[in-house]
Chains A and B, each alone.
Chain A
Amino acid sequence: MVNIEIDGKKIHAREGSMVIEAADDAGINIPRFCYHKKLSIAANCRMCLVEVEKAAKPLPACATPVTDGMKVFTRSAKAVAAQKGVMEFLLINHPLDCPICDQGGECELQDVALTYGSDVSKYSESKRVLPSKDFGPLIGGDMTRCIHCTRCVRFGIEIAGVYELGTIGRGEHMEIGTFVQHSLSSELSGNIIDLCPVGALTSKPFRYVARAWELVQRDSVAPHDCVGSNIHVHVKGDRVVRVVPRENEEINETWLSDRDRFSYEGLNSADRVQVPMIKVEGEWQETDWETALHRAVDGLKQVGSDDIGALASPLSTLEELYLLQKLMREIGCGNIDHRLKQTDFSDQQEAPAFPWLGQAIGDLEGNDAVLLIGADLCKDQPIIGHRLRKAALSGGRISSVNPADFSYHFPRLASRVASNMLAELVAIAQALLDETGKAAPEEFATLSKAVEVTDAQKQIAESLLKGQSSSVLMGEAAINDAQFSAIRSIATLIAELSDSRPGYLPAGGNGAGAWQAGALPHRKAGGRPASVNGKNVAQMLQSEMKAYLLLNTEPEVDCADTDAARKAMQKAQFVVSLSPYASEAVMAYADVILPVSPFTETSGTFVNVEGRWQSFEGVVPPLGESRPAWKVLRVLGNLFNCDGFDFVESSEVLAEISTAAGDMGRDNSISWRCPASLGSASEYRAAADYAGDGIVRRAESLQAVAQSRV
């Protein structure tokens, strides 16, 4: 630590830190445009010039390291003159179009100009004008407003790992752009909107929608992946009009994936159902809640409780999933599942209490060796990809075994593409056994006989063994693989042999929570074994149940076997859909549609992949007559005359779950089960981009991006 003084205030600053960091920590404001705490230092905007005692010229605070005894003046005559001069130059080419600029009211340039600029410009020559650039459906590019801070360029190179924005030309002719016109491809691209200190890069879907001062900012949690990124939801009237990241260093830092940022458009989709609906003699009728709920209960009562199947999306809240399984179990039905895309359930009894990352999200950066199995991080968990990129850039050796050539934004030690991931993993495990000389577990030898260990597999094994902190992570393509249980066995074996942490990256924002809430056929809340073993999702669809209860789910697109799902829904005698949406397909097969709230319109809790419970409040009132699903499920419980459905607040539901599941251990170890065979190669069918859940599928701009990538 060194002692410095800024504006007469004595400060202890970390050695090697810059003046601007010390000032920020001490709450002293220094204006800046190019400096950003998460990006490298460019020192090209010169806005942060300050006076330093004994320095002949003003120095940029962002690029001046603190030294013991340093005296800094941010508001001295010399500093102010320098700042004012820089401000004048920055404004020379900046247009005076604030009244039609989307950044107006939340613009760093406006704010700084107000404090540090002159009120009248001396400049009367013509200003530089640039045509707008097309960066794709998400980001507007009004480059005339650009002040060349290069935050967006550095973000691409350093954070997103995609060098697609650059500085073209020089001096007066410098432009930010892609040179060859194309849409930005990074799945984190929206962050440059936040980074841009002016109105050059703005949100296209938000264009001309609202002014910053008309918005109310409320806190929430993003539901689309297991990271549980923290978000601010911006509300105008009762409508969600924008989502931006809420800083949480332990989870998403200051970033947000494009999916979490732009999915809100789906909340305002025309597909939203606003009134309960029932089908009477093949015709849909809008009705009141009481009629619809009674209709739902009567319909379900007409079939035996064994003939009902409940399918829930892992996007549902902990409270909703808990009440759904409680309701089903109370009426004597164990057929409930949330693992919509999973196909192999054979080892579910031995499965860990819930799919856990094996570590905190922030700790991913510290890994020096990682084996990714079936993990399409760019598509499924962009923030996890970013954390692992940091690990890779600081020397971590990351390898992947995938069913297809998934793209990553970081270098990998080895990248194995295998139509039979199991065989590949067995070879890696064998390489570990060879290397360590440990005894192979029971029957493993018969399995590994058939595989040959190649150099790449040896390399992966070696990296995991050498790593002081290493992980073996199973992504969605592994979890949904036809041989998942065998993959799990071998992946866990690899982790054990190499002293690595086994971890999972489950689908949906509440995949971990669904296990804790007991939205499973074989386990109740808290992971306690169910008294009756119900049917899993595949069995429910194959055996064509008489009735289905759907929660936030469109089985014909959400389930692994979409054909079977469609057929099962069509054949069913009675289908109740609790969903914010009604598509044509749902209208065709459902009998009762109970409009429930998406995550922005209900209080609830998501459990992320670290096992972190994140509760949130609704940010807008439910649309039309729609109601939070936990309330609907509670009333259904009452109508079925079940005990224990007298909740008034969702917090009471949460308290009950806490009692049942609050002390669930975080342990991914499993007892050894040798896979019977190496199985066979299977064809991997990649899902379309931005098709993971009902909200995302209805977010127009994200769909435009997906279309442009086909």
Chain B
Amino acid sequence: MVAEMKATKSDLISAECKAEIDEWVAKYPLDQKQSAVMAALRILQDDNGGYLTTELMDAVADYLEMTPMAVYEVATFYSMYELSPVGRHKICVCTNISCMLCGSDEVVAHLRKRLGIGLGETTEDGRITLKEVECLGACVDAPMCQIGRQYHLKLTPEKIDEILDQLD
């Protein structure tokens, strides 16, 4: 006999995402499912076009048997999680000390000019979001930025134009 399934908040998570989260859950001790919270949030953020909603965070809480508040705390603490819609491409420009000394101000100024948006804003066509971030650990090649999973190093205005032209 099949037991009637009760609707739960984690129903919002697709089967594929659940399978991916389960891989992370399996890496931790059985009673410490919540250790997979960061991975779960990343998976769902990618699946949701780059940002998290309260419903998705509640779904993670439900799925990993955590208090919703504990998930909110993680999601708001790390700057890699987005809590409102972002563009198709997220350009994260490091403005921390090494990059700043090597000219990140010019990088930011050029991006602002090219895209016509400020830091933390998204182009009108929803294509690109510009974001200021802290050190991404590539000081040796400063100034730098991250787009998607890709680091772009030793940035110059020309190089930035080249990168932007290649984005869809």
Interface residues of A (CB under 8 A from B): 163-170, 178-180
Smallest beta-carbon distance B39→chain A, Å: 20
Contact A166 B54 (CB under 8 A): no
Contact B77 A166 (CB under 8 A): no
Q: Kindly list 18 other residue pairs between chains A and B, CB separation below 8 angstroms, not including A165-B69, A166-B70.
A: A163-B67, A163-B70, A164-B69, A166-B69, A166-B72, A166-B73, A167-B73, A168-B73, A168-B76, A169-B76, A169-B77, A170-B76, A179-B68, A179-B69, A179-B72, A179-B76, A180-B68, A180-B72
Report, as a range, how many residues of chain B touch the other chain: under 10
Which residues of chain A have C-beta atoms less than 8 A from B76's C-beta?
Answer: 168-170, 179
Contact B77 A163 (CB under 8 A): no
Smallest beta-carbon distance B131→chain A, Å: 14
Smallest beta-carbon distance B30→chain A, Å: 16
Contact B77 A178 (CB under 8 A): no
Which residues of chain B have C-beta atoms less than 8 A from A166's C-beta?
Answer: 69-70, 72-73
Closest to B78 in A: A170
**Chain B contacts with A in 23-81, Cβ cutoff 8 A:** 54, 67-70, 72-73, 76-77
Which residues of chain B have C-beta atoms less than 8 A from A169's C-beta?
Answer: 76-77
Smallest beta-carbon distance A162→chain B, Å: 9
Interface centre among B69, B72, B73 (most CB of A within 10 A): B69
Which 8 A/B pairs are nearest by Cβ-Cβ distance?
A163-B67, A179-B72, A166-B69, A166-B73, A168-B76, A169-B76, A170-B77, A163-B69
Q: CA A169 – CA B73 in complex, angstroms?
A: 7
Smallest beta-carbon distance A634→chain B, Å: 55
Which residues of chain A have C-beta atoms less than 8 A from B69's C-beta?
Answer: 163-166, 178-179
Smallest beta-carbon distance B38→chain A, Å: 14
Which residues of chain A have C-beta atoms less than 8 A from B73's C-beta?
Answer: 166-168
Does more than half of chain B's interface fall in helix, strand or loop, or is it mixed?
helix
Closest to A180 in B: B54
Closest to A167 in B: B73
Closest to A166 in B: B69
Smallest beta-carbon distance B96→chain A, Å: 13
Which residues of chain A have C-beta atoms less than 8 A from B54's C-beta?
Answer: 179-180
Q: CA A165 – CA B68 in complex, angstroms?
A: 11
A-B contact pairs, 22 of them (CB 8 A): A163-B67, A163-B69, A163-B70, A164-B69, A165-B69, A166-B69, A166-B70, A166-B72, A166-B73, A167-B73, A168-B72, A168-B73, A168-B76, A169-B76, A169-B77, A170-B77, A178-B69, A179-B68, A179-B69, A180-B54, A180-B68, A180-B72
Smallest beta-carbon distance A709→chain B, Å: 19
Which residues of chain A have C-beta atoms less than 8 A from B77's C-beta?
Answer: 167, 169-170
Smallest beta-carbon distance A179→chain B, Å: 4
Which residues of chain A have C-beta atoms less than 8 A from B72's C-beta?
Answer: 166, 168, 179-180
Q: CA A179 – CA B73 in complex, angstroms?
A: 9
Which residues of chain B have C-beta atoms less than 8 A from A163's C-beta?
Answer: 67, 69-70
Which residues of chain A have C-beta atoms less than 8 A from B70's C-beta?
Answer: 163, 166
Q: Mark B68-105, 1 if CB is under 8 A from A, else 0.
A: 11101100110000000000000000000000000000
Q: CA A167 – CA B77 in complex, angstroms?
A: 9
Closest to A162 in B: B67
Interface centre among A164, A165, A166, A167 (most CB of B within 10 A): A166
Q: CA A168 – CA B76 in complex, angstroms?
A: 6
Q: CA A163 – CA B77 in complex, angstroms?
A: 17
Q: CA A164 – CA B70 in complex, angstroms?
A: 9
Smallest beta-carbon distance A173→chain B, Å: 8
Which residues of chain B have C-beta atoms less than 8 A from A167's C-beta?
Answer: 73, 77
Smallest beta-carbon distance A537→chain B, Å: 42
Q: CA A164 – CA B69 in complex, angstroms?
A: 6
Which residues of chain A have C-beta atoms less than 8 A from B67's C-beta?
Answer: 163
Which residues of chain B have C-beta atoms less than 8 A from A180's C-beta?
Answer: 54, 68, 72
Q: CA A150 – CA B70 in complex, angstroms?
A: 14
Q: CA A165 – CA B76 in complex, angstroms?
A: 14
Q: CA A566 – CA B124 in complex, angstroms?
A: 68
Which residues of chain B have C-beta atoms less than 8 A from A178's C-beta?
Answer: 69
Q: CA A165 – CA B54 in complex, angstroms?
A: 16
Smallest beta-carbon distance A154→chain B, Å: 13
Smallest beta-carbon distance B136→chain A, Å: 17
Q: CA A166 – CA B68 in complex, angstroms?
A: 10
Q: CA A563 – CA B54 in complex, angstroms?
A: 46
Smallest beta-carbon distance B105→chain A, Å: 21
Interface centre among A165, A178, A179 (most CB of B within 10 A): A179
Smallest beta-carbon distance A678→chain B, Å: 28
Which residues of chain A have C-beta atoms less than 8 A from B68's C-beta?
Answer: 179-180
Q: CA A217 – CA B78 in complex, angstroms?
A: 46
Q: CA A179 – CA B69 in complex, angstroms?
A: 7
Closest to A168 in B: B76
Q: CA A168 – CA B74 in complex, angstroms?
A: 8
Interface centre among B67, B68, B70, B76 (most CB of A within 10 A): B76
Which residues of chain B have C-beta atoms less than 8 A from A170's C-beta?
Answer: 76-77
Q: CA A164 – CA B68 in complex, angstroms?
A: 8
Q: CA A396 – CA B77 in complex, angstroms?
A: 35
Interface centre among A163, A164, A165 (most CB of B within 10 A): A163
Smallest beta-carbon distance B132→chain A, Å: 13
Closest to A164 in B: B69
Q: CA A168 – CA B77 in complex, angstroms?
A: 7
Q: CA A503 – CA B53 in complex, angstroms?
A: 48
Q: CA A178 – CA B76 in complex, angstroms?
A: 12
Q: CA A346 – CA B77 in complex, angstroms?
A: 61
Q: CA A180 – CA B67 in complex, angstroms?
A: 13
Which residues of chain B have C-beta atoms less than 8 A from A179's C-beta?
Answer: 54, 68-69, 72, 76
